Homo-oligomer: A and B are copies of this chain.
Amino acid sequence: MLSIGDLSKRTGVKVPTIRYYEQMGLIEAAERSEGNQRRYERNDLERLAFIRHARDLGLDIPAIRELIALSQHPDLPCANADRIAADHLTAVREKIEKLKKLEHELERIISHCDGHSIEDCYVIRALSDHGLCEGEH
């Protein structure tokens, strides 16, 4: 039996975050001690590690909730789980594309400033006028 602090130390998930996940329905409400403190077991540890890893990979809470629900039906086909991962990959790629466009424009803007007065600052001018940009964003 682990306290919430023990669980926190072992998984690297902060104590308030564990309570938050319980509230969000990602982990079941834990048993309580006589004094109303949460007590966890080994499988809670695994569950929380799963959640943490999924969050580290950028999945959001509804997606994780769905994956947990799926993982409790081992006989179902895994198409839905695979789709969740694939959709997330697509979203990640779209974010990368957008950020690369920003990176490109910012590089250009910064390199065009000769760094004297605000009056001549290319950063300020470029921000005032999207027409000076090379692409959309």
Contacts and interface: CB of A to CB of B under 8 A. Distances in A.
A110 B127 contact: no
Interface stretch (A19-27, A30-38, A99-107): A99-107
Contact of A74 (B71, B103, B109, B119): B119
B106 A92 contact: yes
- Chain A's interface: helix, strand, loop or mixed, by majority? helix
A77 B115 contact: yes
Contacts of A74: 117-119
Interface residues of A, number: 53
Contacts of A99: 58, 92, 95-96, 99
Interface of A: 46, 49-50, 53-54, 56-58, 67, 70-71, 73-79, 81-82, 84-86, 88-89, 92-93, 95-96, 99-100, 102-103, 105-107, 109-110, 113, 115-121, 123-124, 127-130, 137
